[in-house]
């Protein structure tokens, strides 16, 4: 799956900030552009990883398509 990411270089430190606009809060950084891209790749994978929730036995779970 392909995701758009935005990279910005900090002029003072020279490090790179990176985030994925389509995934709120999914951000990372790196000392090089390549490291930042590797880190955001991992951040996106973790962001999309399904979470398990302890639902009550009476909970009804449905899926919706948008």
Are the C-beta atoms of residues 23 and 47 closer than 8 Å to each other? Answer: yes
pLDDT in tens, the chain (66 residues): 999 999 999 999 999 999 999 999 999 999 999 999 999 999 999 999 988 889 999 999 899 999
Q: With beta carbons less than 8 A apart as the criterion, state whether 44 and 58 touch.
A: no
Strand pairing partners for 19?
6, 27
């Amino acid at each position: 799956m392909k995701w758009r990411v935005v990279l910005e270089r900090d002029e003072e430190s020279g490090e790179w900030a990176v985030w994925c606009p389509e995934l709120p809060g999914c951000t990372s950084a790196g000392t090089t552009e390549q490291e930042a891209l590797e880190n955001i790749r991992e951040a996106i994978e973790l962001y999309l990883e399904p979470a398990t929730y302890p639902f009550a036995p009476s909970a009804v779970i449905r899926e919706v398509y948008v």
